[in-house]
Amino acid sequence: MNTPLYPLTFRPLLKSVIWGGAEIRPFKGLEPNAEKIGESWEVSHVPGYFSIVENGALAGKSLDELIAEYGDRLVGKPVREKFGERFPLLIKFIDARDDLSIQVHPDDTLAKERHNSFGKTEMWYVIKAKGNAHLYSGFARQSSPEDYKKRIADDTFTDTLAKYEVKAGDVFFLPAGRVHAIGAGCFIAEIQQTSDITYRIYDYNRRDAAGNTRQLHTDEAADAIDYTVREDYRTHYEPEINTAVELVECPYFHTNLLDLDKTIARDHSGLDSFVIYICMEGTLELAMEGADPVELHQGQSVLLPATTKHIALTPAPKCKLLETYIPV
């Protein structure tokens, strides 16, 4: 007989990269060291990087094993019908000490055709921003495949992009096809489709210690880019205490912001989807009927199975969370 499902926390997968900073370990309550950590993968089903359960009777099991064992009870029947045996979301924290390369991700159709993969739609929530931290999202002026190739060649591509100075609480939705880049000083939470397909367009002509430039994918990116120009790429919302404020609604995920200073109840009985809570500030207790309460602190995430009906979230004394699930 299966072990009953309960709120699951996972061991973080810390990624040491040359552009990483020193924020992630202390943010998560881990002992600081000299390693440059650029990303912490909180919930992952990317092949080779399966999350491992940290708490309770299922500790040591991988997310892949859980999907095989629990199926619809873990992810939800409509979720499994749509995405098969692949857990559809990847949850990350990202700490950029340096500017990241300018990128684009293919949509489902192109990714399936070229890589037999899902595309990558994602969102960013800015947790912290240092000084004049900025990011790029979309085009500020009209471009085209021909203009794109010309500007890559003459090193003026960034002139066409919309650049935003950012602060804590800023949100950006990045559908597949939108050109984007995280700038130095940004510390963000990222929710994305489970896909590792990235087309690197421009890397500021940087070279490694051996004098080599990074591999670029300028040709592959040309027909993956959405060249539409929009007036504003920032997601606007009105903060509200002790209620779920919608940030993003798209076919791949629905994300709410919860800023709490008292206990609230959440009814997930109508979702038929897993739910993930990402704690970005403070501490809380999450209580689910039939399971031991789970204590979460800043920098932790928890996965609730699709069988979850009702929960209570109790901050101690305050907390800020992202809540995300698959709309069905």
Q: Which residues are catalytic?
A: 200
- Which pLDDT tens digit goes with each residue over 248-281? 999 999 999 999 999 999 999 999 999 999 999 9
Residue with tokens 């060649």: 153
Token pair listed for 231? 């007036």
pLDDT on residue 1: 58
pLDDT at 187 over 70: yes
DSSP element (H, E) containing 128 = strand 122-129
Q: Is 122 annotated as a binding residue?
A: yes
Query: CA 303, CA 61: separation in Å to the nearest integer?
Result: 14
H-assigned helices in 56-123: 63-70, 72-75, 77-83, 108-115
Q: Would you call 222 helix, strand, or coil by DSSP? A: helix
The CA-to-CA distance between both ends of the chain, in Å, stands at 29
The per-residue pLDDT for 34 is: 87
- Residue 115 labeled ligand binder: no
- DSSP class per residue in 197-229: --EEEE-TT-B-TTSPBPP--HHHHHTT----B
Written as one letter, the residue type at 193 is Q
Which tens digit of pLDDT belongs to each residue from 74-124? Answer: 999 999 999 999 999 999 999 999 999 999 999 999 999 999 999 999 999
Q: Which residue in 151, 189, 196 sits closest to 170, CA to CA? A: 189
Q: Where in the chain is the domain with CATH 2.60.120.10?
A: 8-234, 243-325
Is 254 labeled as ligand-binding? no
Can you say whether the dihedral through the CA atoms of 310, 323, 5, 291 is positive or negative?
negative
Report how far residue 279's alpha carbon sits from residue 281's, in angstroms, rounded to the nearest whole number. 6
Per-residue pLDDT for 206 more than 90?
A: no
107: closest CA among 190, 179, 172, 175?
175
What is the C-alpha separation between 35 and 220, in angstroms, rounded? 33
The mean predicted confidence, pLDDT, of the chain is 95
Which stretch of 31-45, 116-130, 155-169, 202-216 has the lowest confidence by average pLDDT? Answer: 202-216
pLDDT in tens, 48-80: 999 999 999 999 999 999 999 999 999 999 999
The reported pLDDT for the residue numbered 205 is 80
CATH 2.60.120.10 holds for 243-325: yes
Residue 239: pLDDT above 70? yes
Residues 6+ apart with CB under 8 A from 270: none
Please name the CATH architecture into which domain 8-234 falls: Sandwich (2.60)
Q: How far apart are the C-alpha atoms of 272 and 81, rounded to whole Å?
A: 12
The count of residues in the chain is 328
